[in-house]
């Protein structure tokens, strides 16, 4: 694979100095157009062998391009904060918003490559990591991101010559450490592993571009021209698509015709708990949860709780009964509303990755990423292709949480339509609850059946062994709160045994 990057390509000084001014001007023009229109984000991955000019190329890109529209992140060893969260957390946080170019010096490829070369993982583990990487990149690509992946290569002799040359230069000898020479001794292993990695992750929408790194002028021009070409092409495609698409139409929710039974119809909403029994069991369950949460904190077992349900189904009250049993220093409640402008400029999962708990902590989402397949689907805020692929994206997201020893619990609080109306009227009659009711709540009742079908498909497609849905009969709030506490306690006990 790397033979074509050992041909001795070079650019003489005169041709280089002639080409650079126009290239810089064109890059600035494209950057400005990208920022003004904000149609997509650009990710530039800088990877490759030591001494091949990766850092120098990043510096040149900063010199040539407008720093206002450029974001650069370098990834070294994991920090304590990063170790306490799933692998991709550090990369989700570094994604640039739409309209900007993000340079990633090192990336999600670095750790699996290093681990395999040093024998810390086996081939099967590497294969599994590459599957997750391909899925992650596909999520970004499906959301419109442009991913440019550069691999800087040097042959073994050329790398040795380069490292020795840097060592002799007083201004650059700091670039060569014992780690670089250690990697050089493992050159053949790196060659074999990297060949496999590039071959299995060079997708049609995100191919690797191999850069011969021996001549700096050649690599600078090649990378700059490639970025210019790919971003310009995508801008033209986007402009053409916007001119012919006619906007972003809301799609039919698929509810016309005869009403179909759903899994929600199987729930027994007549279940109740007497107040005296409720108060006694509530105290017992909260005490049990408090002890379990302390053990979970000590053993660094985190929790992510998702509360979804109808308007006025009692999500807030249920959350308060959970948090009453927890140490206030160890949990956060994240209320999810319509996305902000900042959140709209990112993949829809970005804002949820940001809030993942540290080891031993609890994050509670009052509504969640399931808005993609519920409100965005029914109200037409997302196209059918967007919410259809979200099921797999969500499953992959939750699997990463579970793999990282995070307890994932998802609750759907279900009430009857008549019970919802009764609660709406009660809110209107209670002064300190009136803020909870709006005309939007009444409007949503007219789409009850559409939401029922969306919930049914959500449960069918995303109730997994590592993150199952728990359907809560919530006509009686006492019954719902006790059931939620029982489920959470049982899940923590199971996790602590592991």
Query: 68 to each of 32, 102, 105, how far by Cα in Å?
Result: 10, 11, 18
Check residue 292 and give its pLDDT.
Answer: 98
Contacts of 249 (CB under 8 A, 6+ apart): 380
The Cβ of residue 328 has, within 10 Å, a number of other Cβ atoms equal to 8
Check residue 1 and give its pLDDT.
Answer: 63
The Cβ of residue 17 has, within 10 Å, a number of other Cβ atoms equal to 11
Both tokens assigned to 75? 């990834």
Contact in structure between 71 and 96 (CB atoms under 8 Å): yes
The CATH label, of 3.40.50.300, 3.30.450.20, 3.40.50.2300, 3.90.1170.50, for the domain at 3-242 is 3.40.50.300
Contact in structure between 405 and 86 (CB atoms under 8 Å): no
Query: 31 to each of 39, 68, 417, how far by Cα in Å?
Result: 12, 10, 52
On the 0-12 / 13-18 / 19+ scale of CB atoms within 10 A, 197 is buried
**Minimal CA–CA distance to 359: which of 430, 308, 303, 318?**
303
**Minimal CA–CA distance to 329: which of 358, 289, 370, 365?**
358
Q: Which residue has the tokens 């984000």?
A: 41
pLDDT under 50 in the chain at which residues?
A: 245-258
Query: Nearest 5°: phi and psi at 286?
Result: -65, -35
Element (H, E) at 163: helix 156-168
Check residue 252 and give its pLDDT.
Answer: 40
Q: Where in the chain is the domain with CATH 3.40.50.300?
A: 3-242, 263-497
Q: How far apart are alpha carbons 326 and 362 in whole angstroms?
A: 9
**Minimal CA–CA distance to 457: which of 320, 260, 288, 285?**
260
Contacts of 467 (CB under 8 A, 6+ apart): 395, 398, 399, 401, 402, 408, 409, 410
Both tokens assigned to 287? 């005490």
Q: How far apart are alpha carbons 109 and 327 in whole angstroms?
A: 38
**DSSP at 484:** H
Contact in structure between 408 and 402 (CB atoms under 8 Å): yes
Q: How far apart are alpha carbons 142 and 134 in whole angstroms?
A: 12
Both tokens assigned to 272? 């109740």
Q: How far apart are alpha carbons 331 and 308 in whole angstroms?
A: 18
Check residue 254 and give its pLDDT.
Answer: 42
Rounded to the nearest 5 degrees, what angle is found at the Cα of 294, between the Cα atoms of 293 and 298?
115
Which is the CATH superfamily of the domain at 263-497? P-loop containing nucleotide triphosphate hydrolases (3.40.50.300)
DSSP letter string, 363-421: EEEES-GGGGGTHHHHTTSS-HHHHHHHHHHHHHHHHHHHHTTEEEEEEEEE--HHHHH
């Amino acid at each position: 694979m790397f033979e074509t990057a050992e041909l001795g390509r070079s650019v003489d000084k005169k041709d280089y100095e002639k080409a650079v001014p126009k290239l810089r001007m064109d890059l600035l023009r494209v950057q400005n157009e990208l920022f003004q229109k904000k149609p997509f984000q650009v990710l530039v991955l800088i990877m490759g062998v030591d001494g091949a000019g990766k850092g120098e190329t990043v510096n040149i890109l900063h010199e040539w391009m407008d720093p206002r529209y450029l974001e650069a992140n370098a990834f070294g060893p994991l920090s304590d904060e990063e170790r306490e969260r799933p692998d991709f957390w550090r990369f989700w946080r570094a994604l640039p918003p739409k309209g900007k170019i993000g340079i990633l010096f090192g990336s999600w490829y670095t750790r699996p490559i290093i681990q395999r070369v040093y024998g810390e993982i086996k081939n099967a583990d590497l294969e599994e990591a590459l599957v997750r990487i391909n899925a992650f990149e596909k999520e970004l690509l499906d959301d419109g991101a442009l991913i440019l992946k550069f691999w800087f290569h040097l042959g073994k002799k050329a790398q040795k010559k380069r490292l020795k040359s840097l060592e002799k230069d007083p201004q650059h000898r700091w670039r060569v450490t014992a780690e670089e020479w250690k990697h050089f001794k493992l050159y053949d292993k790196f060659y074999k592993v990297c060949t496999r990695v590039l071959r299995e992750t060079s997708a049609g929408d995100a191919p690797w571009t191999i850069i011969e790194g021996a001549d700096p002028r050649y690599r600078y021009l090649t990378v700059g021209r490639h970025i210019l070409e790919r971003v310009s092409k995508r801008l033209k495609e986007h402009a053409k698509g916007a001119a012919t698409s006619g906007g972003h139409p809301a799609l039919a929710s698929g509810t016309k015709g005869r009403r179909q039974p759903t899994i929600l119809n199987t729930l027994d909403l007549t279940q109740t708990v007497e107040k005296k029994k409720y108060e006694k069991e509530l105290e017992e369950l909260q005490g049990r949860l408090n002890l379990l949460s302390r053990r979970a904190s000590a053993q660094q077992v985190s929790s992510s709780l998702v509360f979804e349900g109808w308007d006025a189904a009692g999500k807030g009250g249920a959350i308060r009964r959970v948090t009453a049993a927890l140490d206030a220093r160890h949990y956060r409640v994240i209320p999810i509303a319509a996305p902000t402008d900042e959140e709209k400029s990112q993949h829809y999962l970005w804002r949820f990755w940001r809030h993942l708990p540290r080891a031993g902590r609890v994050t509670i989402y009052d509504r969640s990423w399931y808005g993609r397949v519920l409100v965005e689907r029914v109200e037409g805020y997302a196209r059918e292709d967007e919410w259809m692929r979200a099921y797999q994206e969500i499953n992959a997201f939750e699997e990463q949480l579970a793999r990282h020893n995070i307890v994932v619990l998802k609750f759907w609080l279900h009430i009857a339509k008549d019970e919802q109306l009764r609660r709406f009227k009660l809110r209107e009659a209670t002064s300190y609850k009136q803020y909870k009711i709006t005309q939007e709540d009444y409007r949503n009742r007219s789409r009850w059946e559409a939401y029922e079908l969306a919930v049914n498909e959500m449960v069918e497609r995303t109730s997994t062994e590592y993150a199952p849905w728990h359907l809560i009969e919530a006509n009686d709030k006492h019954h719902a709160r006790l059931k939620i506490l029982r489920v959470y306690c049982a899940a923590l006990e199971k996790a602590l045994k592991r």
